[in-house]
Chain A
Amino acid sequence: MKKIKYIIATLFGILLFNITSCDIIEGPYLIDNNTNPVDTNTFVKKVLIEDFTGHRCPNCPAAAEELVSLQDFYGDRVIGIAIHPSSPAFSTPSPLTASSYTYDFRTQFGDDIDNIFELTTVGLPRGMVNRTGFDTQHQLGKDEWSSIVQTELEKDPIFGITLSSNVSNGNGTISITAEALTNINLDKKEKIEDYNIVICLTEKNIVQWQKDNTAGDIEDYEHNHVLRTMINTTFGESIGNSFVDGDIWEKDYSVDITTLENTNENHSLNTLFMGNGNCKEWNEDNMEIVVYIYNTSNYEIVQVEEKHLTNH
């Protein structure tokens, strides 16, 4: 009889444990479909998602959708860049004579980034959110993005970036201002991190082929945020290492779309595996300037800003 008591007590204990440590959620599961509007007069922390993708990668459209969902929710506080790194299986274009997948989305810049962060080695789609967690926790599956986006957005911004552009008909200037929003590294004597600024151009609404794991081969898939070029090299240039609240860094960059297109064409034809040079026909009206500042000691992006290239 004593044994039975033991057993009942044990089973009862387990039952109690069960009930207390389960969160069964009743619908509605969606609790909020939009954050509150952001006060655009002051600088807010923004976050960059670099989505590593490929036109022959069947699981990649789902990652692009996750990026759209995050942007729908957080508005312009989430900025995306779609990087098509060299991957034999996922991004190699077909020869020009083929009927599909002839566009070459790859760039030297995307490959330079992938060489450091090695996202293709763990398989696509993967992404980085503000490049946090380098070098063991930065290669994120799409479902891991949201949690890090939320954590990043809760941080205070340390820089504010202002962009203006007077580019039209393929030529013009981009003006960039970075303002320190707090004192940075003033008391540090050693191991002072540099901050680098990087200027990218991306393009949306590129209609080309895309493989999809449910829809198969999609002829008229809309590729968005596609990385086209980086104006001041892949890893940018220094804006300094210590700042007083309110310090300002400014610089103008001239842009010539044809030259930039030709650089990519040369790279595709002369360097890339099966490169066919079919990477031009940029539409400046669909292009965005994306500028970010990162900490060179850990690559972490501390601020990012986006502006349309031709809507002055």
Chain B
Amino acid sequence: MKKNLFILILLSPFLLFSQNNTGEIHGNFESNLQSYRDDPTIGATAAEEVILHNAYLNILYTKGNFTGGLRFESYLNALMDYDPKYKGNGIPYRFATYYSDGLEVTVGNYYEQFGSGIIFRTYEDKGLGVDNAMDGVRLKYSPISGLYLKSFIGQSRTYFEYSEGIVRGVDAEFNVNEALKIEGKTSYILGGSFVSRFQKDNNPKFNLPENVGSMATRLNIMHGGFSYYGEYAHKINDPIGSFSFDENNYATGRAIVNNLTYSQKGLGVTFESHFVDHMEFRSERAKEKEFIINYIPTLSKQHTYTLLALYPCATQPEGEFGFNTNIFYKIPKNTLLGGKYGTNLNLNFARTNSIEGGTSYLDDSSSHTSRPLKSIFIKNETLYFSDFNLEINKKINKKVKLNLVVAKQKYNKDILEGKTIGEYGIVSSTIAIADISYKIKKGHTIRLELQEMISIDDATAENHADGDWHMILAEYTISPNWFFAIQDMYNYGNYNEEKQLHYVNTSVGFLKGANRFAIGYGKKRAGIFCVGGVCKEVPSSNGFSLNISSSF
């Protein structure tokens, strides 16, 4: 009843103002339907329901300084790559916000991030099935120009539940140049944040902290084409509350982030690095990864080509050191290598590995503190992931565009997928991609992707990974209404001959105005899907899919 009343109050502005045509309503809808049938060759299983369906509808109402909104979600039942705890219908997201004289008040659900998210970030990603929206109250206030304050209190969402832990936080950002009206080449932004989680301790065996705090300071300096961002985070003891002797880790968590970028016309260089140690922060102490409320971005290039993203890097918040370097260079036009339109190059090198001595640990009988400076000189640390790649993007003429990528990747399958150490070891692969698009005539474009992966298994490992792959994709677009695509992934190099299979997918899409329809049919392989270092396992499937999205 309480819930219904709340929704009614939220909706009341729609009812009140719908007459005199003030305010605006916007929304969007998405429906994903998939059928599943048995396919023992790829390990796909049929759904008892035959079809599964996820749908969302967002409604947003804005009038002047007021915004209210809600999201209806329907999982009848959830698609197989979703957690089955997403079940049934509901309005798990609803909020009201208003802004007045520098103060912004939000009640209900909200997403928030402090700094780069190391101590706190709530967000939603439908692809990953992540939605840890907060439910509570948030205030944002700017008392003077250049000083921005945020504070919140709430409980975080996981599936259709809210955490038992209550999370509170404050954040202050101080833009030096703006506040002190300094004009100059160099600008500074300072920030500090603090987040604390309360959860009762009813463990009679171990002494557990009821209020777990996490704090961070950050600095951003910009000078001409240079930009530096640094953040240091610290989390106090946060044991999981187990009864087993060696499972409660009382060590402090730490993270150090250093990012440097430089850009000028035709050239860009970025260098990102971080050291992370025991920084997993959950909304309840004993819960699992789905309850994480902070975010550590991955240090690797986000690939879109299938075979480049076959073995993606997943961030290890409990301990990793790594860096990611990018050099972007445009060979100017009308030169030998640049041709008529110029040539874009992107060289990328990323690597992450374990930290010195492993994750910091503290209990009554033992202690270890990992040293960040030692981690820089990689000695005995385990490699988690490395990716060295070059991308060349070139427009040949008015009709033909070309994108070429070559990459060498190393992927520690045991660590990144949570397998037993020694099961798969480190998979090394070499990947080459050619993406050619050809404009046949006005509005008609054909695009061809050829991908190849040569993969070498770890000789010391117990099991074999999937081995070599071919992939081919052909896409035909008739803008603005139609697209047709067919792709085949062929695992020709699988060690197990029975698994040397083709995974063929076809899709047809129709777009008109604000509506988009797509129908697909095919086989999907079991794999890992990641967005920004957050990953989920996707089961294999065989069936039809229908996706509809629309907005108003």
B-contacting residues of A (Cβ < 8 Å)? 3, 6-7, 10-11, 14, 17-18, 21-25, 27-33, 35, 58, 62, 65-66, 69-70, 73, 118, 121-122, 136-137, 141-147, 150-151, 211-214, 216
Contact = CB atoms under 8 A, between A and B. Distances in A.
A29 B250 contact: yes
A18 B207 contact: no
Given A137-B161, A216-B420, A21 B213 contact: yes
Contacts of B285: 143
Interface string B150-183: 0000000000110000001010101000011000
14 contacts: A7-B147, A10-B149, A14-B192, A21-B198, A24-B237, A35-B204, A62-B247, A73-B243, A141-B286, A141-B288, A145-B243, A147-B241, A150-B202, A216-B420
Interface string B418-442: 0111100000000000000000000
Given A29-B248, A211-B420, A10 B205 contact: no
A18 to B, nearest CB: 5
Interface string B211-225: 111010000000000
B457 interface: no
A212 B420 CA distance: 7
Closest 4 A/B residue pairs (Cβ) = A23-B209, A22-B213, A143-B286, A69-B243
Contacts of B196: 21-22
B250 A27 contact: yes
A54 to B, nearest CB: 13
B211 A23 contact: yes
A160 to B, nearest CB: 24
Given A29-B206, A30-B364, A136-B160, A143 B420 contact: no
B422 A31 contact: no
Contact of B180 (A3, A69, A150): A3
Contact of B242 (A28, A121, A143): A143
Contact of A122 (B83, B211, B287): B83
Contacts of A62: 244, 247
Given A143-B241, A212-B420, A32 B84 contact: no
A248 B535 CA distance: 55
A70 B248 CA distance: 14
Contacts of B244: 62, 65-66, 69
B208 interface: yes
A44 to B, nearest CB: 16
A25 B421 CA distance: 33
A25 B241 contact: no
Contacts of A136: 85, 160-161
Given A23-B211, A143-B285, 16 more contacts: A3-B147, A6-B144, A10-B147, A14-B192, A21-B168, A22-B209, A22-B211, A24-B209, A27-B250, A29-B239, A31-B205, A146-B203, A146-B243, A147-B202, A213-B421, A216-B420
Given A23-B210, A25-B237, A17 B144 contact: no
Q: Point out which of B146, B209, B244, B420 has the most chain A C-beta atoms below 10 A from its C-beta.
A: B244
B194 A18 contact: yes
B236 interface: yes
B286 A30 contact: no
B287 A144 contact: yes
B6 interface: no
B208 A214 contact: no
A146 B422 CA distance: 32
A10 to B, nearest CB: 6
B205 A30 contact: yes
Given A18-B215, A25-B208, A3 B144 contact: yes
Nearest to A136: B161
A33 B205 CA distance: 6
A31 B248 CA distance: 13
Q: Point out which of A21, A141, A142, A145 has the most chain B C-beta atoms below 10 A from its C-beta.
A: A21
A10 B172 contact: yes
Nearest to B208: A25
A212 B211 CA distance: 34
B170 A17 contact: yes
Contact of A32 (B204, B211, B363): B204
Contacts of B192: 11, 14
B245 interface: yes
Interface in B222-237: 236-237
Contacts of B212: 22-23
A194 B196 CA distance: 44
A210 to B, nearest CB: 12
B209 A28 contact: no
Contacts of A137: 161
Contacts of B419: 58
B316 to A, nearest CB: 15
A11 B171 CA distance: 10
A35 B143 CA distance: 54
B240 interface: yes
B142 to A, nearest CB: 11
Nearest to A9: B143
B494 to A, nearest CB: 19
B127 to A, nearest CB: 20
Contact of B143 (A6, A30, A212, A216): A6
A57 B144 CA distance: 57
A146 B211 contact: no
B205 A143 contact: no
Interface string B68-96: 00000000000000011100000000000
Nearest to A72: B243
